Amino acid sequence: MPKKLKIAIIFSIMFDLGFYKNKKIAIPGGAGFVGAHLAEILRPVVAELFIPRVEDGIDFRRYEDCVSYFATTKPDIVINCAADQGGIGYYKGRQADVFLNNIQMNLYLLKAAQEAGVKKFVNVVPNCSYPGYAHTDVLEEEHYWDGEVHDSIFSYGLPRKVSVAFGKALFQQFGFSSIHVVAANMYGPGDRFDAQNSKALAAFIRKFYEAKRDGAPAVHVWGTGKPLRDWLYVKDGAEGILRAAAVYDDIEPLNIATGVGISVADLAMKIKEAVGYQGEIIFDTDKPDGAMVKISGVKKMKKVLGWVPATPLEAGIRETLEWFDKNYDKAISN
C-alpha cells in the first residue's frame, strides 16, 4: 500500500477511537477475518478486549454458552461478527445446517446480551440479506424489508436478516440498544482463500496466482461474469463499523460500503493483470451467478458518518495479493 494512503487510513481510524477508551468490548467471531481486523484496531485503546474461541469450548449455538460468556466478561459493547458462511458454493448440501447455525448464534447472542445489560450491540450483517430480486440497481436501507433474499444465498442471508428483526423486537420490548450495519463484500489480508469458503475476489487471487505459477492455459470463473458487486477493503470496513458503533444509535440498518459496483468479469480481469497471468479466462455459464446486482447505497452512510472508504479497489487488490504471496501456506489452509 502507498505510504500516504496507509497514513491516511491509520489517521482516520485513530480520529474516532476516543469513544472506545476504557470500555470493555467483546467480539464474537473476533478470531475470524473481519473480527481480527476490528480487534487489531481496538486492542491498544480499550480497557479489556474479549475474543471468544471455539477451541476454548465456547459454542454460541448454545444459549447457555452465550449467557455464561457475557456473565463472565461483562462487556459494555458487543460487536457481533459470528457467522457460518462462505462463497456461493459453500451452501450447497448444507443449507439447513447453515440456516440453523446462524439463527441460533445471532439470536442467542442478542438475547443474552440484552439479559446481561450490554449497553450496545453492534450486529455486522452481510448485504446478501437485502432483497435479492429488487427492481433497482442500488440497495438502499429504506428497501431492506421489501422482498425475499436471493435463493442462492437464502440459507445465510435470511437468518442474518432475522437477526436484524430480532434486534428491533428487543428494542421495542426492552429498549435494548442494537445497531445493524449491513456490509458490502469485504476482502483483504487475512481473507479466506480455501476452495470451499472463499468469496469471488479471494478465489480469483488464488486461481490466477496458482495458474501463473503452474503455467495453466486458462482460469475458469463461475457464471456469466455479468453480476455487479460492491467490494469493500476490510480495513475500511472495520473503520466504518467502528465509526458507526460510536455515533449511530438507530435500530434501522445502515450500509457500510463503497457504493461502487464492478462486474465479476471486470474484477477477474483486474486480478489477472495484478497477478501478471497471461492465460485465458473461461466463464462456466452452467454455474450460478447469484443475484445480478449487489451494490449498496451510501447516501445515509455519508450523512450519518461523514465518511467514505479510503482504499481504491486496485490498491486493495495489490495489498491482498502481497499478503497472499507472503502467507500462501497459511492462506490456503484457513
Q: Where are the chain's structural domains?
A: 3-191+230-260+296-312
Those residues with Cβ within 8 angstroms of residue 249's Cβ, 6 or more apart along the chain or in another chain:
177, 179
Distance, in Å, from the CA atom of 29 to the CA atom of 11, rounded to the nearest integer, reads: 26
> 313-326 and 200-214 helices cross at what angle (nearest 10)?
60
CB 199 within 8 A of CB 271: no
Distance, in Å, from the CA atom of 187 to the CA atom of 321, rounded to the nearest integer, reads: 11
Determine if residue 143 is left, alpha or beta; phi over 0 gives left, psi from -120 to 50 gives alpha, anything else beta: alpha
Compute CA distances 332 → 44, 195, 317, whole Å. Answer: 30, 8, 17
Distance, in Å, from the CA atom of 162 to the CA atom of 30, rounded to the nearest integer, reads: 21
Query: Identity (one letter) of the amino acid at 226?
Result: K
Per-residue pLDDT of the chain (334 residues; tens, 9 = 90+): 454 444 444 445 445 688 999 999 999 999 999 999 999 999 999 999 999 988 889 999 999 999 999 999 999 999 999 999 987 788 889 999 999 999 999 999 999 999 999 999 999 999 999 998 877 889 999 999 999 999 989 999 999 999 999 999 999 999 999 999 999 999 999 999 987 778 899 999 999 999 999 999 999 998 999 999 999 999 999 999 999 999 999 999 999 999 999 999 999 999 999 999 999 999 999 988 888 888 999 999 999 999 999 999 999 999 999 999 999 999 998 7
Pairing assessment for the beta strands 228-229 and 262-263 based on DSSP bridges: antiparallel
Neighbours of 155 (CB within 10 A): 23
Nearest to 184, CA basis, from 261, 270, 244:
261
**CATH number of the domain located at residue range(s) 3-191+230-260+296-312 in this protein:** 3.40.50.720
Classified as helix, coil or strand, 23 is: coil
Helix (H) or strand (E) holding 13: helix 3-15
Cell numbers describing residue 194: 480455501
pTM of this structure = 0.92
**Phi and psi torsions of 120, nearest 5°:** -155, 135
Number of helices followed by number of strands (H, E) in the chain = 11, 13
Distance, in Å, from the CA atom of 45 to the CA atom of 17, rounded to the nearest integer, reads: 7
Longest distance between any two alpha carbons in the chain, whole Å: 61
Helix (H) or strand (E) holding 319: helix 313-326
CB 177 within 8 A of CB 123: no
Cα 295 off chain centre by: 14
